[in-house]
Amino acid sequence: MAKGFTIRRVGHIGIQVTDVDRSIGWYIDTLGLTLTGRWPMGESGAMAFMRFSDDHHNIVLFTHPTPVTEENRNTGYNALQHIALEVADRDEWLKALADLRRKGVEIVQGPLIHGPEGGRGPGNAFGGSGSRSFYFLDPDGNRLEIYTDMMKVPEGEQFPRGEYVDGFVEVFKK
């Protein structure tokens, strides 16, 4: 299938939070992000641009004065399932795990390996990507993942290569 364009990477994530200032502090103190800027949104809302690279922002924190309802749920003011933040290698991954634990952050899932190397079980529901991961929550309950070693899928190949067994995928059975 021909593509009209190519997505290079996830550019940034927007997260709905309940207290922008508290979240700014948490993302700085816990993950080492830098605040690019903070701006008001209407009378009681606010937004903050946070970064961990030389991009203007990688994460945008929002608090919106209008609560999410059935009528406005498609306006973009919803939570999301999780945000995955990649680190360079296994040493950096272990360093991140130790650092977050030292800061009192509860690891809510993992550490684990997604995929055949990690075995079947919680967190490996689809045979996985081979990545080493762990998950934790920010102050608003947004789920974050730190990972490394994501499997690459060559152009033209499909994933998963395998069959579903007991709700899981047995990969690499060709």
Same domain, 17 and 71: yes
Same domain, 65 and 88: no
Amino acid 39: pLDDT: 84
d(CA 24, CA 28): 6
**Domain with 157 in it: what CATH number?**
3.10.180.10
CA atoms within 13 A on the CB side of 68: 12
Same domain, 69 and 90: no
> What domain count does the chain have?
2
pTM over cut 0.75? no
- Among 15, 48, 80, where does a domain finish? 80
Same domain, 73 and 98: no
Amino acid 10: pLDDT: 83
Amino acid 25: pLDDT: 98
Same domain, 5 and 49: yes
Residue 86 exposed, middle or buried by CB count within 10 Å (0-12, 13-18, 19+): middle
Amino acid 165: pLDDT: 40
Q: Checking phi first, is residue 74 left (phi over 0); if not, alpha (psi -120 to 50) or beta?
A: alpha
Amino acid 130: pLDDT: 72
Amino acid 119: pLDDT: 52
Amino acid 5: pLDDT: 55
The amino acid at residue 12 is H
Mean pLDDT by runs of 10 across the 174 residues of the chain is 65 88 96 92 84 90 73 60 87 93 94 67 50 89 87 64 40 33
Same domain, 18 and 93: no
Same domain, 70 and 93: no
- Among 80, 113, 145, where does a domain finish? 80
Structural domain boundaries, residue 161? 81-174
d(CA 59, CA 33): 9
Same domain, 8 and 59: yes
Amino acid 69: pLDDT: 66
- Among 80, 98, 133, where does a domain finish? 80
d(CA 160, CA 73): 32
